[in-house]
Amino acid sequence: MRETVPLPASFMIIGILGFIISALYTYTGKFTLWFGESGITWGVLFMLLSIIFFAASIISLRPTALYEEKERIERKKKELMKHKILKPHKK
């Protein structure tokens, strides 16, 4: 599995807020005022883009959390071995 770089939390917030604002503007017809006949198309496009932002932020969270948990366990093992609480495993 590929390792992904975690995206900042602001990326997820932009995705959520972008979808809500785009949905409201499309429903109320503000995009139609700004873009003319193609306003609904632009609104749907902005909603789709926001969904892609949100999905990318969710995908980037999963592997990072597992990787950080693994690192935390390894650090804890080293600390316990350093204080001779945990003995090294013999192979």
Per-10-residue mean pLDDT, the chain, length 91 = 72 94 92 87 94 90 67 81 69 61
**Amino acid 60: pLDDT:** 81
Q: Structurally, how many domains does the chain consist of? A: 1
Domain membership flag for residue 18: yes
Does the predicted TM-score (pTM) go above 0.85? no
**Amino acid 58: pLDDT:** 87
Calculate the CA dihedral of residues 13, 33, 39, 18 and round it to 10 degrees. Answer: 0
**Amino acid 62: pLDDT:** 64
Which residue range forms the structural domain that includes residue 56? 9-64
What phi and psi, each to the nearest 5 degrees, are found at residue 41? -60, -45
Domain membership flag for residue 89: no
Domain membership flag for residue 50: yes
Domain membership flag for residue 81: no
Q: Both tokens of residue 73?
A: 């366990």
Domain membership flag for residue 25: yes
Domain membership flag for residue 90: no
**Amino acid 49: pLDDT:** 96
